[in-house]
Structure formats: structure tokens, C-alpha cells
Homo-oligomer: A and B are copies of this chain.
């Protein structure tokens, strides 16, 4: 199988397409937390009750206008669970203890539903670029379809009931993944992002908290789930993100104006190392690929398709890497194969753009 075919097989659209404002916005994600009336939340449910929930959800998913299949997490390989986490289709917590847990996946992976995670179901949508409103409409449509078949735990005053009180109300968490390398270079990322925190948004790194400096990638999401309508929450988040995007673009232009040689040098060196190295750990891969993405977006790297760096940000993760190579890799082998995949992909990308 060629690397192109493997990619088609392994990566869903948000990871392969840039989408709107794709130079700064990586993806838009939305999830709705829902629970079935009359059954305890998963953490307090018995095994029989969790199986009952799985059965109800499997039936409901099979009865959708475009039926989806439920996949039990205890029936797939650990590496496949890891891949689902790396693709942001399930949470790390969901993968950790797979008993009586499942995921319902639409084929294009734009819709994934976690069953028996913190709540009975969490409907997630994931789209490339700045497309939060579309992500909301998509989630809302699936929510309606499920609600037509299931009896949700809902309270007139409090809205949707959820296992964790911070989700009560809309049960909605909307998040935008931003790529802010220039703000980091000009040392403005902390300032800009802490302003968002003051406005009650959550700011995190690529795979959760504490990963601030990893490749300049940040997730921004709403904290408020109660007392505001979904579209209101989304519009507030979008408006805040648009300001961050403007700041990032301004920082990029300032760098191009004031220290173009240094910027080009840094980006071209990162490309040179990626295209030639023989050993590459995941942290360095993220950092260098982040530079390459910026280089493509700024026109400094001209002959590489824009999505290649974005694809590689995922392909270099431990789980997906093992799927690309087609075998289990011990920690000592990963750096070798990661370097190989990056070299192959960069050179295939270049070749493709030349033809």
C-alpha cells in the first residue's frame, strides 16, 4: 500500500484538509453531553446497566437515517484505541479502561459518539478550519435524531443533566484548535491567551493542559454551559478566537517585515532536519513540523502542499505511526520509523506538487 493510500485509510478529513482560515485554525470541535433518563451516570452504574446503555445506543445508532455502527473499545487493539485518542475521536480517559465502553463513528470521522465515558453519550463533531457553527449544526442534527429514539435526562430549569455539574445546561463544549507560532516567537502568546482566560474561556495545549509550548498549538473552549443558548456561546467563542487569529496574523506580518532572514533560516533549517534526519522523537517532530507549517503558510516553503505538515503532526504520534508502519514498534524503533515516515511524506509531497 502506498503512503498516499495509507493516509486515505488512516486520516480523516479534519486532519487532511485545511478548511477555512486553515493557516491559523487547525480544527473546530463540538460535543454534547447527554444521559438517558432513569439510569445512573456511568461511574455509578453497574455492569448490567452499562451493558443496557450500550445496547440502547447500538440500536439507536443502527436506526439513524445513515446508520452507524457501535464499536466496543474492549474488542479493539490497544494501538487502535490510542489512534482514536490521537485523532481526537475519543478522550484518553475513555481509552484507558475500555470495559463496557464504546465509540460510534461516522465513516468520515466527522462525527464520533463516546458511549459510557463520563456521560452515557457524548456526541462529538470535528471539522477542519474555523467551522464551529457547522460543527454545532452537525452535532445538533445527530442530537435530534438520537433524542427522537431515546429518553434524555432533562430538567426544565437546569437543562440537560450531566455527570459533572460543569456541563449541566447545554451540555455543550465547543473548542477551536489554533496554531499560534508567531505569537510564541514574539512572546505575546501568554498575554493574548491569558486575556481569553479572563473572559472565562479554557486554554490548553494540543493534548490537554500543560502542553503550552508544543508546536504552538492551543485549544480554546467555553467554560460556561448554563444560562446561555448554544449559538450565543459559540458566537462569543468565535469572536474571541477571531481576535486571537488577528493577533497571530499581525505577529506573522511583523516577523516577515522585521526579521525575515531569521524566520526563513529557522523554518528552512527545520525543514532540512525533517527531510534528512534518521532519528526523530515526537516532541521534536511536533516542533519542527510546526515551523514547516508556518513556512508553507507564509510562502517561505513553496513546493510543499499545505496539508502535508498538518497530516504529519498526526502521523508522527506513537499510535498512528505504528499503523502507518504496519507493526508494533518498541520505543527504540519509533524514532527511526518516525524519521522515515516524515522523510517519505515530505519527499512524496514535494514530488506531487512538482507534477
Partner-B contacts on A (CB < 8 A): 261-262, 264-265, 268-269, 271-279, 336, 339
Contacts and interface: CB of A to CB of B under 8 A. Distances in A.
Copies in the complex: 2
Given A261-B278, A264-B278, A271-B276, 9 more contacts: A261-B336, A265-B277, A265-B279, A268-B277, A269-B278, A272-B273, A272-B274, A272-B276, A272-B277
Nearest to A343: B268
Contacts of A274: 272
A249 B56 CA distance: 71
A256 to B, nearest CB: 13
A148 B275 CA distance: 61
Contact of A277 (B269, B275, B278, B336): B269
A268 B276 CA distance: 5
Nearest to A268: B276
A277 B268 CA distance: 5
A78 B26 CA distance: 55
Contact of A273 (B264, B269, B336, B339): B269
Nearest to A279: B265
A302 to B, nearest CB: 13
A275 B278 contact: no
Contacts of A276: 268-269, 271-272, 275
B279 A261 contact: yes
A274 B276 CA distance: 11
A276 to B, nearest CB: 3
A338 to B, nearest CB: 12
Contact of A279 (B262, B272, B278): B262
Nearest to A300: B278
A178 to B, nearest CB: 27
Contacts of A268: 276-278
Kindly list the 3 A-B residue pairs having the minimum CB-CB distance in the complex, ordered from nearest.
A272-B276, A272-B272, A265-B278
A278 to B, nearest CB: 4
Contacts of A272: 269, 271-277
